Amino acid sequence: MKAVIVDGYVDEPAQFGVPPYISTYPRYCAGVLGYLGYDVDYFTIDELRKLDDWDFLREYDLLLLIAGITVPGVYIGGTPIMDKEIERIGNLRDTLKLIAGPVVRGYTIKGGRRAKKLNLTGFDHVILDDPEVYLYELLSGEKVKDRYSLIDRTIEFSTTILKEHPYYPTVMIELELSRGCDRERFCSFCTEPVFYGRMKVRKVESVLKEVEVLSKSGVKSFRFGRISNILAYSYNQDHSPDHRLIKDLYVGVRKCVPDLKVLHTDNANPWYLVEHRKECEKIIEIISENNTSGDVLSFGVESFDEKVLKLNKREGDPEKILTAVRIVNDIGGIRDENGIPRLLPGVNLLFGLMGEDENTYDLNFTYLRRILDEGLLLRRINIRKVIPFPATEIYRKIKRIKLDEWRFRKFKEKV
């Protein structure tokens, strides 16, 4: 039996899969398919675009398309799949066609507009839940009691597709530490709790087993991107941070991959950092000692306007963001032999949120200017437009995004 996975790329709050990255979805699905006896091929949508004729996909017994953007970005390594290309794949005959990822809930390629529902009737199975679980239950007839146990059982079969990735062996592996959100009250715009609920943490041993398998396949670049707040990695215990788990994780990866090339992370909550300052400082120190340089803790600030924060993030004091930026600079700003900082904060800003007005732009710039004037460093600044996705609060409350395009463009240029 032959199966093919078409990677149309994903970009979510806590998951990234545009080259040179590869998300967890195609890897875990390849693991299940290989475990069940399928020979699995893999194509990125960019590789397919080089071919005029896609009819060869009909020769496979099973075709799985993975795609979906819920967080808008500017992509260098690839272009996410377009709606017409999804339709083209859906119209193929003679093969069992499945589609998974955020695209099954809504589609857009740009920020500043509501996600729309696509007509996916050309596909035999539209997978709303975890695709690897759905595949296993569909093809084996057995129920999956625990998703992470399934991943542990099938992970050794997941690496077969990596050599077909256009960036192999320098492909950046997105590693899953958890899914869902650790916050008590969810943000108005975020799809993470809508799709995955409250945070469920994966055991360190499970992550390290995956890293070891991946390293043996020839990849040496990893990112802990599949977690909404790495500082809360111990969430399942008592909702407070635990630096010991982070140490076990990072030291364990170093042991599994002695010839490591890249070890980075992504998301962190600045308010959580300040609330649990002492323990989070230990975590930041551990990360800075065991990562590779150029790493970032991406803060989902979204706005420095307190009114906007309260309406959309259920947070208040923007001064705490500056405190978090200072802490990461103080601990993670140490430089390697090439002068590159080990770990710096990043700031994500999102426009088109509820309560936003002209003053929001001024406040955002004022706070960024304060960071600069204090001599603090940011690894990156992401400036984006919101995508209201079905089932999010902002989708229910706002029918049309009120975003001043001229001010938005001028703000980006000014920053």
Task: Tell me the pLDDT tens digit for each residue of 337-360.
Answer: 999 999 999 999 999 999 999 999
Within-domain flag for 13: yes
> What whole-number distance in Å separates Cα of residue 180 and Cα of residue 193?
5
Q: Using the 3D structure, point to which of 100, 119, 140 is the last residue of a domain.
A: 140
Among 307-316, 359-368, 376-385, 405-414, the range scoring the smallest mean pLDDT is 307-316
Q: Using the 3D structure, point to which of 120, 140, 160 is the last residue of a domain.
A: 140
Confidence of residue 236 (pLDDT cuts 50, 70, 90): low
- For residues 127 and 222, state if they share a domain: no
Any residues with CB less than 8 A from the CB of 211 and at least 6 apart, and which? 175, 222, 252, 253, 256, 257
Within-domain flag for 153: no
Q: pTM higher than 0.75, yes or no? A: yes
- Predicted confidence at residue 6, as pLDDT, reads 99
Q: Assign residue 202 the CATH number of its domain.
A: 3.80.30.20
Q: Using the 3D structure, point to which of 95, 121, 140 is the last residue of a domain.
A: 140
Within-domain flag for 164: no
- For residues 222 and 133, state if they share a domain: no
Exposure string (b/e) for 166-197, b if CB count within 10 Å is 16 or more? Answer: ebeeebbbbbbbbbbbbbeebbbbbbbbbbbe
Tokens linked to 156 = 């050794």
- Predicted confidence at residue 313, as pLDDT, reads 86
Within-domain flag for 155: no
Within-domain flag for 276: yes
Residue for token digits 């004022």?
366
Within-domain flag for 371: yes
Q: Kindly tell me if the per-residue pLDDT of 238 is higher than 90.
A: no
What three-state secondary structure class fits 178? strand
- For residues 33 and 133, state if they share a domain: yes
- For residues 301 and 356, state if they share a domain: yes
- For residues 124 and 265, state if they share a domain: no
What is the residue range of 75's domain? Answer: 2-140
Section 103-114 average pLDDT: 94
Q: What tens digit of pLDDT does each residue of 388-406 get?
A: 999 999 999 988 888 989 9
What three-state secondary structure class fits 93? coil
- For residues 84 and 227, state if they share a domain: no
* Run of H or E residues at 192: helix 192-196
* Domain count within the chain: 2
Percent of the chain with pLDDT over 70: 99
Q: Assign residue 78 the CATH number of its domain.
A: 3.40.50
Tokens linked to 15 = 């998951």
- Predicted confidence at residue 72, as pLDDT, reads 86
* Run of H or E residues at 218: none
- For residues 87 and 10, state if they share a domain: yes
Q: Tell which residue, 285, 265, 281, has the closest CA to residue 273.
A: 281
Within-domain flag for 352: yes
> What whole-number distance in Å separates Cα of residue 346 and Cα of residue 353?
20
Alpha carbon separation from 235 to 68, 201, 223 (Å, rounded): 27, 7, 20
Any residues with CB less than 8 A from the CB of 181 and at least 6 apart, and which? 190, 192, 193, 196, 197, 198, 199, 228, 229
How does DSSP classify residue 107? Answer: B
What three-state secondary structure class fits 310? helix
Within-domain flag for 151: no
Q: Tell which residue, 160, 285, 170, 300, has the closest CA to residue 227.
A: 300
Query: How close are the terminal C-alpha atoms of the chain, in Å?
Result: 53
Alpha carbon separation from 286 to 151, 241, 289, 345, 362 (Å, rounded): 27, 13, 5, 15, 36
What three-state secondary structure class fits 308? helix
- For residues 103 and 228, state if they share a domain: no
Q: What tens digit of pLDDT does each residue of 164-188 get?
A: 999 999 999 999 999 999 988 899 9
- For residues 198 and 86, state if they share a domain: no
Section 84-92 average pLDDT: 98
- Predicted confidence at residue 240, as pLDDT, reads 87
Q: DSSP per residue over 23-82, as a string?
A: -HHHHHHHHHHHHTT-EEEEEEHHHHHT-S--GGGGGSSEEEEEEEESS----SS--PPP
Q: Output the average pLDDT for the chain.
A: 96
- For residues 227 and 134, state if they share a domain: no
Q: Tell which residue, 13, 111, 12, 113, has the closest CA to residue 69.
A: 12
Q: What tens digit of pLDDT does each residue of 277-320 get?
A: 999 999 999 999 999 999 999 999 999 999 999 999 878 799 99
- For residues 173 and 136, state if they share a domain: no
- For residues 268 and 407, state if they share a domain: yes
Radius of gyration in angstroms for the set of CA atoms belonging to the chain, rounded to a whole number: 21
> What whole-number distance in Å separates Cα of residue 262 and Cα of residue 267?
17
> What whole-number distance in Å separates Cα of residue 367 and Cα of residue 12?
26
What three-state secondary structure class fits 364? helix
Residue for token digits 């916050």?
183
- Predicted confidence at residue 314, as pLDDT, reads 79
> What whole-number distance in Å separates Cα of residue 103 and Cα of residue 280?
35
